[in-house]
Amino acid sequence: MGRPYASVLRTFHFVPTLLADSPTALAAKRERVPRELQASLDTAALVGTPEQVVARLQPLVAAGCQYFTLAVMEPDTLRLIAERVIPAVAALPPTA
Amino acid sequence: MVGNNVEQTPSHPWVESGRQSIRFGVVGGPRGDWPALRDFAQMAEELGFDSFWRPDHPMLVPDCWTSLAALATSTRRLRLGSLVSCVFYRNPVLLARMVADVDRISQGRVVLGLGAGDVAAEFEAMGLAYPPISERHAALAEALQIVPRLLRGETVEYRGDHCRVRVATLQPPAAQQPHVPVLIGGGGERTTLRLAAQYADASSLGAGAWGGGAVTEADVRRKYAVL
């Protein structure tokens, strides 16, 4: 298209995003997801412990993703992302 | 016909920052009443997220642009965006007016996410025709030739198959310099990624149908290569 590749920000979107410290807590959160988003849980969602979520984001970062937009519905998930995912993603090795 | 010229301006600073670090934005927030949404967005701001986005699904959640306007007055730093605003739900001149107003209220923090719409039941509930995807993409392409120009303060006259503007100028236009960044939702390799490459500051992929079905790392690499 005649413009530099880097002039378009590459974002990736997950709906919904659910994090919890344990599988049990995660299962409880899954049940509270609104009906119209239930179908996304196994496709477009980002669900897991902070460690699992970082492992899910890593290959996307490697593929060139620069920005994640996460559909978050509750404060606990928000805090886990801020405290345990964002720093871990920032520490991933830089990509070309 | 104006609008096919490729952007010649340098990258938007918000895009340029993407070279330095991986950033995170929050979409949606809690269902329920306004105070819960306001508190959640303020919490996201305090926790260091870069942006807060509202979906445009008026039959599921409160209005996208109205809630962004309210968030503009109750946050200070977060970028505020639509993810994504459906081009069929508002006349493009009215949409540009609303985007410019939220940009001014927020002192230049808006990102305009635009998409072609993909929830047939919602179109039906609102009494809107739900044309095939090729026509919806054509309408998105037309809106992309209208809304960003209005936001910059240009006078727009446009006759398309889907959008018509007799003659319109926003007074005042958007506040943000060099311009309100535009994000295009969708990972279609024939159409939406090409529209993103032609008109947008940002592209939004996802594993769902709305995001082009980018499920694996290889999918994402291929789509970014198309872009």
For B20-41, the pLDDT digits (tens) are 899 999 999 998 899 999 999 9
For residue range B155-199, what is the model confidence (pLDDT) as tens digits? 999 999 999 999 999 999 999 999 999 999 888 888 899 999 999
Phi, psi angles (nearest 5°) of residue A64: 115, 5
By Cβ distance, the residue of B60, B83, B181 closest to A36 is B60
By Cβ distance, the residue of B26, B60, B215 closest to A78 is B26
Chain B touched by A70 (CB under 8 Å): yes
Q: For residue B106, what pLDDT is reported?
A: 98
Chain B touched by A9 (CB under 8 Å): yes
**Distance from the first to the final alpha carbon of chain A:** 21
pLDDT exceeds 60 at position A61: yes
Chain A touched by B38 (CB under 8 Å): no
User: What is the spatial distance between Cα B186 and Cα B113, in angstroms, rounded to a whole number?
Assistant: 11
SS3 A6: helix
Q: Which of A36-50, A75-89, B175-189 has the lowest mean pLDDT?
A: A36-50
Report the residue of B9, B23, B111, B203 to disrupt the A interface, i.e. the one with the largest count of A CBs within 10 Å: B23
Q: Within the 7-26 window of chain B, which residues sit less than 8 Å (CB to CB) from chain A?
A: 7, 10-11, 14-15, 18-19, 21-26
Chain A touched by B206 (CB under 8 Å): yes
Q: Do B22 and A68 touch (CB under 8 A)?
A: yes
Q: Which residues have CB under 8 Å from A72's CB, separation 6+?
A: A16, A17, A78, A81, B26, B27, B28, B29
Omega before A4 cis (within 30°)?
A: no
Q: For residue A92, what pLDDT is reported?
A: 87
CA distance to B5, B75, B90, B94, B157, per residue, from B166 (Å) = 21, 36, 16, 13, 5
Across A12-32, b (16+ Cβ under 10 Å) vs e yields bbbbbbbbbeeeeebeebeee
On whether ipTM exceeds 0.95, the answer is no
In this structure, the number of other CB atoms found within 10 A of the CB of residue A59 comes to: 14
Hey, which bits of B138-225 come out as E strands?
156-159, 164-168, 182-185, 202-206
Residue listed under structure tokens 């996304």: A40
Q: Do A13 and B183 touch (CB under 8 A)?
A: no
Please say whether the beta carbons of B198 and B6 come within 8 A: yes
Q: Within the 31-60 window of chain A, which residues sit less than 8 Å (CB to CB) from chain B?
A: 34, 36, 40, 43-44, 59-60
Q: For residue A94, what pLDDT is reported?
A: 66
Chain A touched by B200 (CB under 8 Å): yes
User: What is the spatial distance between Cα B114 and Cα B184, in angstroms, rounded to a whole number?
Assistant: 5
User: What is the spatial distance between Cα B37 and Cα B78, in angstroms, rounded to a whole number?
Assistant: 14
Please say whether the beta carbons of B93 and B146 come within 8 A: yes
pLDDT exceeds 80 at position B4: no
**Distance, in angstroms, between A23 CA and closest chain B CA?**
22
